[in-house]
Amino acid sequence: MTVETVGGVLAAALGRAGNRVALRAHGQLRTHAELLANATRLANALAGKGVRPGDRVALMVGDRVEAVEAYVGCFLGGFVAVHVNDRLAPPEVEAILADADVRAFGHTAELADKVAGSGADLVFGIGGAGWQALLDGGSTRDPRVARAPDDLAIIGYTSGTTGRPKGVMHSQLTMLRTLRHMPVHFDLRPGSRCAMTGTLSFVAGLWGVVLPHLYLGGEVSFLAGLPPDEWFARMLAEGSNFTYVPTPLAAAFAEQAHRHPGVLRTLRSALHSGSQLPPRTVRALVETVGGRFAETYGMTETGAPVTRTEDADWTAGCRADDVYASTGRPVHIAEVAILGPDGGALPPGGTGEIAVRSDTQFAGYFNRPELTAKSVVDGWLRTGDIGHLDGAGYLYVTDRAKDMIVSGGMNVYPAEVEAALAGVPGLAEIAVIGVPHERWGETVVAVAVAGGPHLDEAGLIEVARQRLASYKKPTRVVFVDALPRTASLKIDKPELRRRWAAGELS
């Protein structure tokens, strides 16, 4: 019996779609047939340079058609794609490449300054003359190889609460399940046209949006960075059926949809996820686009989202306590439980840690079995998020046990920022918290104790800018005489957040 692989399923789908447009990005265009041909040549070219099935190939890419070809090429060749966020600073990139022990490292040209010290045996450019030369060296033979269901397909890195990156492993099986589930989850139909406002900086955009559209013979148009009016102009021109609503642009999306109702003639789904929207913004979205709007909850470890709102949730018959503050109910492939301090499940209304179990759940953290065992207990993933279920089964995410900050849909771990700033001359102590922000959901604030006279806000922010991805840097630094502490002498971050909310920090 032939075992299905991610590469095999994608190759069959691309072959069926043939000369339909698959990708549009910044003036570039690829058909499904061209994408398959280039991915095939890449897989064979890398194999010719000694990369073997199961070897890890890191990819750090911008939103280019060649970037998608690189990922598909890895799947065809049986290589494990290691996703590296292109927004990371060079020290962060080096840490991930070392942790993953990669065999090869591909990057788009604009990221060349981040590749020094990669440690990879083979470094190659994606796009441009070098890319074409690499493809020209690869044959057109079918590169697909047998892989077992439990063999790895991709590793997506997410930062740890200790500041050390952790590689989230997805197997051939979980990736295939995600690929086949997402069309159901997002109400996608064959040939669906996607207005892609997310970027390939984040691995979920790849396996959750781009690949499912290719699997359906659809089309992905990369629009990240466009102002809302141009976003809508492109959706009108291209007849988009699906789009993602980033947190910072949610209010503008509702406004533009009201101004340009013609978009709704083709748009079937407008997804939001990643950080909590104010209920009034959700209401404005629903009033404008109706049941096309979907709120979801998931994470890198779950592969696919585990909860979703449905069309009927926005009607008078919805039984949720407050659907506008909810992430919906568990989908058919997932379960959600709320755990109390003793690890037992709480009844509806009880607030505790959110635990999930799903068919698309990850295979563990790369080379970190102790962390995997701590995070997955009896098959249930302990998310570190705090929330509750109401009597009708709707999930409400109210806090994060692990202090993670979600700013504009992007995860920021305070420990990372604190570690980056540790040792700055004149800095005695620092604590990083997330505070509410109208546009971004949350923003990063550092509360610092100065140990010398020459420390200032601008200087600390600049240090963070040099050492971290830009979205992780503090937008404010507040100086205090001393940080509050708990009875066990730990810094009391809930108290810092309370003081911020009360206006006591300025």
Please indicate, yes or no, if residue 343 is contained in any of the structural domains. no
Give the chain's mean pLDDT.
Answer: 92
Which of 150, 172, 194 corresponds to the end of one domain?
A: 172
Residue range of the domain that includes 411: 405-501
Among 145, 172, 199, the domain boundary falls at 172
34 lies in a domain? Answer: yes
pLDDT of 488 reads 52
pLDDT of residue 161: 46
How much is the pTM?
A: 0.86
**Model confidence pLDDT, tens digit, residues 228-243:** 999 999 999 999 999 9
* Residue 487 pLDDT > 60: no
pLDDT surpasses 60 at 479: yes
Confidence tier at 247 by pLDDT (50, 70, 90)? confident
Q: Is residue 24 assigned to a domain? A: yes
Amino acid at the residue 216: L
- Domain assignment present for residue 362? The answer is no
Half-sphere exposure at residue 165, Cβ-oriented, CA atoms within 13 angstroms: 22
Q: Does 278 fall in a domain?
A: no
Cα 451 to Cα 455: distance, rounded to the nearest angstrom:
8
8 A C-beta contact, residue 106 and residue 70: yes
What are the tens digits of pLDDT across the range 379-418?
Answer: 999 999 989 999 999 999 987 766 778 888 887 878 788 8
Last residue of a domain, one of 151, 172, 193: 172
**Number of compact structural domains in the chain:** 2
Asked if residue 166 belongs to a domain, the reply is yes
Measured torsion, CA atoms of residues 223, 225, 226, 227, in degrees rounded to the nearest 10:
140
- Each residue's pLDDT tens digit, 418-477: 888 887 888 988 999 999 998 889 999 999 999 877 788 999 999 999 999 999 999 999
Tell me, what CATH number does 57's domain have?
Answer: 3.40.50.12780
> Is the per-residue pLDDT at 328 higher than 60?
yes
151: phi then psi, degrees, rounded to nearest 5: -65, 145
495 burial type by CB count under 10 A (0-12 exposed, 13-18 middle, 19+ buried): middle
Percentage of residues in the chain having pLDDT higher than 70: 97
**Is 244 domain-assigned?**
no
Burial 112-139 (b: 16+ CB within 10 A, else e): eebbeebebebbbbbbeeebeebbeebe
Tokens 């060749």 belong to: 77
Buried-exposed string 364-382: b where 16+ CB fall within 10 A, e elsewhere: bbbebeebbeebbeeebbb
Residue 199, domain member (yes or no): no
Which CATH number does the domain housing residue 412 bear?
3.30.300.30
